[in-house]
Amino acid sequence: MAALERPVTSTMADKKQNADVLENRDSAGGGASGFFARMNSRGGAKPKNFVPLASSKAALELLQNFEESRRGWFWSTDSFGRVTYLSEAVCEALGQPHSELIGSIFMDLFGKDEEAEDNQRTLPFIFTKQSKFDDLALMAAGGEGEIWWAVSGRPFRNASGEFIGYRGSGVDITEQRRTVRDTSKLAKYDALTGLLNRYRMSKLLETTLSVFQTQKRPCAIMLIDLDRFKQVNDTLGHPVGDALLKQVAERLVKVVGDREKISRPGGDEFQIILQDVEDRGALGELAERIIKSLSQPYSVDGARCIIGASVGVAVSPFDGVTSEDLIRNADLALYAAKAGGRGRFRFYSRELLQVAEDRRILEEDLRDAIQKKELWVAYQPSVDVSTNQVSGFEALVRWNHPERGPISPAVFIPIAEEANLVGEIGEWVLREACMQAAKWPGKMIVAVNVSPIQFANDLLPKIVENALAASGLPPERLELELTEGVFLQESSGTDAMFKALKDLNVRLALDDFGTGYSSLGYLRTAPFDKIKIDQSFVRGVTEPGSRNGALISAIVTLGYALDMDVTAEGIESLDQLEMIRGLKVTYVQGYVYSPPIDNDKLLEKFESGEWVIEPSGPAVHRSDRISMFRKVGVVHDNHYYRVIMRNLSLSGALVEGILNVPTGTRFVLDLGDGQLAVSSVVRSKGHHQGLKFETPLVSDGNGSFCTSRRVPPYSLAAAGMPLDVLPPGYYDSINRPPPPKTVPQFSTTGDWKNA
């Protein structure tokens, strides 16, 4: 449109001309003629001395009074859409002078808003068509924020039928609009955190899975449960708990990067939907970042809170194709993560259904284990690295199940925590360790772990005192190992507990330093005698480019500056030991010296009065290998062989069951659930083959390994994978050609049938 001249400022004459606007509001009850018509149609005799006003003058007065009431406003344009009249109330609301708005383009008064985009595209269309419109919702940016108006207008023509512009009115509907928006938001978003609510996430997941199943695209779901949140709620109150949940939500948004992917179904649970993501390496890294972020300390109304998080992960179509299946399986994975010690993640696997049932049975058996004398205490030596002489022991509880044999502490300790058995078991270990240590020769120290649950028990000092008195063990020979979880909520009660324990003259050690909620403030205020460096720092200390050595050195310097002993845990190889010695660590625990032993063997070693251990083990630390006895499959050419997997690491595996396989042979190792690892035979002897993976595995969040990616079941079926090794339900409709008839290159021992 060509440049336009600005019309003159409107006058009362313009108001007279625009009084006709009222005549177009009859249907809405706003027009002057409509007003008089209603007054005259009410029936009955006119009041005495009733004198009607001239209609034009009355209309002008009513127009002016209505504008001044701020209940509505009027406008008009010329044929080019330029404003020729605008009520003063609108100018004030927009925060612009009346003189500036007269002559401007009417449509430009309304800003861009996501919810109003459709209407803003409609208004130009209406003006182009010169059509009438009623109560069109339009948004403008006012001086005090967003304003919404319901705008109506009528095109006007001169005597010759030529279009001369628009005349209309508007009403402020900002409050109504906000109410509607808030109601709509409540239907989609959690009122506390602003994240998606359960209903909205459910619909999003259902829609995504429906579309993705047709397109054969993956979708991951993460379930997050806050650890120890209930304790915050119970001790600091629900307002603090609510404020904490808001901070958790903001941290999740920061890590994930998209608020519309995160929901809070309720309580302290959160969900994340990740479309087109199936890489379990990436999912595991994201889960670890979430856990690390949510485990950092919070400050709420002056209170310092520390919580944690556990994460369960399921991925469609591998772990389910419906939202119900996927959520259920992610929940099973979450339950397994919490059962595994909290503060960790787990991927769903089909074994979890059986694991859940086994866990229920183990919990029942564990309740009777103490009375049935199934628990016993093993002792891990702590060795002075300068002399290789044993200086003390850490007491570790063990469970010898009458039917299942030894049960790993990684399995039964989380069960004990969830079943509220930690206090009872911990007290038994303390009494037993004191009783046995009292009979050791010399002045050997015995270290006993104290859980945060035990530390929170006001009776702990009395329990320790009774154990010392009953056993006769001198208090300076007892060392209580505490993790940073005891600082869950720093308070005067925490300081009082430390004082009460030190008044007994026992030693205190800070265990697993550097892995949880480390703060120099702990070391400044808590009376620790020792720092124990967690084995996660030791594990990668010899790897090229690792910064763990620098971190260990800093911890050692800090410990000695505070007059504390320093112990490194988990030393397994000679190169690790040499590195730790070079970093000036004083004491070491680990298999390079000795595994945990029972009390009888300990006493045998001390027959001469002291025990010096020469370190032994692999010269160089290698990737963690997990021993197992598990059925798996290997694919070679068009044939599927059943074998037994003896061990597994990030880089390879040892399998047995195939005879006379030359080195260099390429296999595809089928680990189940669509996990296919391309590998080469690097060692072969008889029916044993050592495999090296083409692509390293990733952590499964439970101390084992899994493939980063999985092959969808329908792709496996289409490729001819035997039906009995496929999960059910994905390949019924797939038409695939029969596999070619070829002779297997290798023969099998058949040992897998008895596994």
Q: Which whole-number Å values give the CA distances from 161 to 165, 315, 450, 595, in the listed order? A: 12, 67, 94, 102
* Residue-wise pLDDT tens digits, 378-409: 999 999 999 999 999 999 999 999 988 888 88
In this prediction, residues 19-38 reach a mean pLDDT of 40
Cα–Cα distance, 157 to 159 (Å, whole number): 7
The yes-or-no verdict on residue 32 having pLDDT over 60 is no
The pLDDT value recorded for residue 294 is 93
Beta bridge partners, 33, equal none
The pLDDT value recorded for residue 70 is 74
DSSP alpha helix (H) spans, 483-636: 492-502, 520-525, 535-539, 548-561, 574-582, 599-605
Cα–Cα distance, 127 to 153 (Å, whole number): 10
pLDDT band at 751 (very low <50, low <70, confident <90, very high): low
The pLDDT value recorded for residue 486 is 76
Cβ atoms within 10 Å of 11's Cβ, excluding its own: 10
Name the percent of the chain lying above pLDDT 70.
Answer: 82
The amino acid at residue 621 is: H
The pLDDT value recorded for residue 270 is 97
The yes-or-no verdict on residue 89 having pLDDT over 70 is yes
Q: Residue 61 corresponds to which tokens in the numbers above?
A: 């007065």
CB 566 within 8 A of CB 560: yes
* Residue-wise pLDDT tens digits, 550-560: 888 988 998 88
Give CA angle at 369 (367, 372), nearest 5°.
Answer: 125
The yes-or-no verdict on residue 185 having pLDDT over 90 is no
The yes-or-no verdict on residue 39 having pLDDT over 60 is no
Give CA angle at 26 (24, 32), nearest 5°.
Answer: 80
CB 233 within 8 A of CB 330: no
Half-sphere exposure of residue 411, counting CA atoms within 13 Å on the CB side? 18
**Residue 188, C-beta contacts closer than 8 angstroms, at least 6 positions apart:** 196, 197, 199, 200
The amino acid at residue 574 is: L
Full set of structural domains in the chain with CATH: 12-42+53-171 (3.30.450.20), 189-349 (3.30.70.270), 371-605 (3.20.20.450), 626-754 (2.40.10)
The yes-or-no verdict on residue 52 having pLDDT over 80 is no
Of 352-361, 513-522, 573-582, which has the strongest mean pLDDT? Answer: 573-582
CB 590 within 8 A of CB 394: no
The pLDDT value recorded for residue 118 is 46
Q: Residue 637 corresponds to which tokens in the numbers above?
A: 């050419």
Of 111-125, 550-564, 615-629, which has the strongest mean pLDDT? Answer: 550-564
**Residue 264, C-beta contacts closer than 8 angstroms, at least 6 positions apart:** 190, 192, 193, 195, 196, 197, 245, 249, 270, 271
Cα–Cα distance, 92 to 541 (Å, whole number): 69
Q: Residue 374 corresponds to which tokens in the numbers above?
A: 């199934």
Torsion angle of alpha carbons 147, 152, 158, 159, nearest 10°? -160
| Ordered strands of the 83-86 beta sheet | 83-86, 73-77, 163-172, 145-157, 133-142
The yes-or-no verdict on residue 88 having pLDDT over 60 is yes
Q: Which burial class, exposed, middle or buried, applies to 581 when counting CB atoms under 10 A from its CB (0-12, 13-18, 19+)?
A: middle
Q: Which burial class, exposed, middle or buried, applies to 162 when counting CB atoms under 10 A from its CB (0-12, 13-18, 19+)?
A: exposed
CB 15 within 8 A of CB 86: no
Beta bridge partners, 145, equal 142
Cα–Cα distance, 229 to 242 (Å, whole number): 11
In this prediction, residues 52-81 reach a mean pLDDT of 77
The pLDDT value recorded for residue 637 is 78
Q: Which whole-number Å values give the CA distances from 507 to 527, 603, 707, 736, in the listed order? A: 9, 23, 45, 69
The yes-or-no verdict on residue 24 having pLDDT over 50 is no
Torsion angle of alpha carbons 493, 499, 505, 508, nearest 10°? 60
In this prediction, residues 231-239 reach a mean pLDDT of 79
DSSP alpha helix (H) spans, 263-313: 280-294
The amino acid at residue 381 is: P
The pLDDT value recorded for residue 717 is 57
Q: What is the mean pLDDT of the chain?
A: 82
Give CA angle at 662 (657, 664), nearest 5°.
Answer: 110
In this prediction, residues 320-344 reach a mean pLDDT of 88
- Helix (H), strand (E), coil (C) string for 22-62: HHCCCCCCCCHHHHHHHHHCCCCCCCCCCCCCCHHHHHHHH
- Using DSSP's 3-state secondary structure scheme, residue 180 falls into helix
Q: Which burial class, exposed, middle or buried, applies to 516 when counting CB atoms under 10 A from its CB (0-12, 13-18, 19+)?
A: middle
CB 698 within 8 A of CB 705: yes
Cα–Cα distance, 569 to 533 (Å, whole number): 6
Q: Residue 4 corresponds to which tokens in the numbers above?
A: 């336009």
Residue 432: closest CA among 482, 375, 483, 489? 375
CB 338 within 8 A of CB 345: no
| Of 64-78, 440-454, 492-506, minimum mean pLDDT range | 64-78
pLDDT band at 55 (very low <50, low <70, confident <90, very high): low
Cα–Cα distance, 94 to 233 (Å, whole number): 46
- Helices 409-418 and 351-367: crossing angle in degrees, nearest 10, is 70
* Residue-wise pLDDT tens digits, 320-331: 889 999 999 999
The pLDDT value recorded for residue 713 is 60
Residue 329: closest CA among 311, 343, 315, 348? 348
pLDDT band at 542 (very low <50, low <70, confident <90, very high): confident
Cα–Cα distance, 737 to 458 (Å, whole number): 71
Cβ atoms within 10 Å of 138's Cβ, excluding its own: 21
* Residue-wise pLDDT tens digits, 583-593: 999 999 999 99
The yes-or-no verdict on residue 82 having pLDDT over 90 is yes
Residue 702: closest CA among 345, 282, 335? 345
| Of 153-157, 181-185, 369-373, 411-415, minimum mean pLDDT range | 181-185
Cα–Cα distance, 488 to 226 (Å, whole number): 13
The pLDDT value recorded for residue 731 is 45
Q: Residue 429 corresponds to which tokens in the numbers above?
A: 């270990």
Distance of CA 707 to the CA centre of its chain: 21
**Residue 462, C-beta contacts closer than 8 angstroms, at least 6 positions apart:** none
Torsion angle of alpha carbons 230, 232, 233, 238, nearest 10°? -150
CB 308 within 8 A of CB 228: yes
* Residue-wise pLDDT tens digits, 203-223: 999 999 988 888 888 999 999
**Residue 162, C-beta contacts closer than 8 angstroms, at least 6 positions apart:** 79
- Using DSSP's 3-state secondary structure scheme, residue 261 falls into helix
* Residue-wise pLDDT tens digits, 191-201: 899 899 988 89
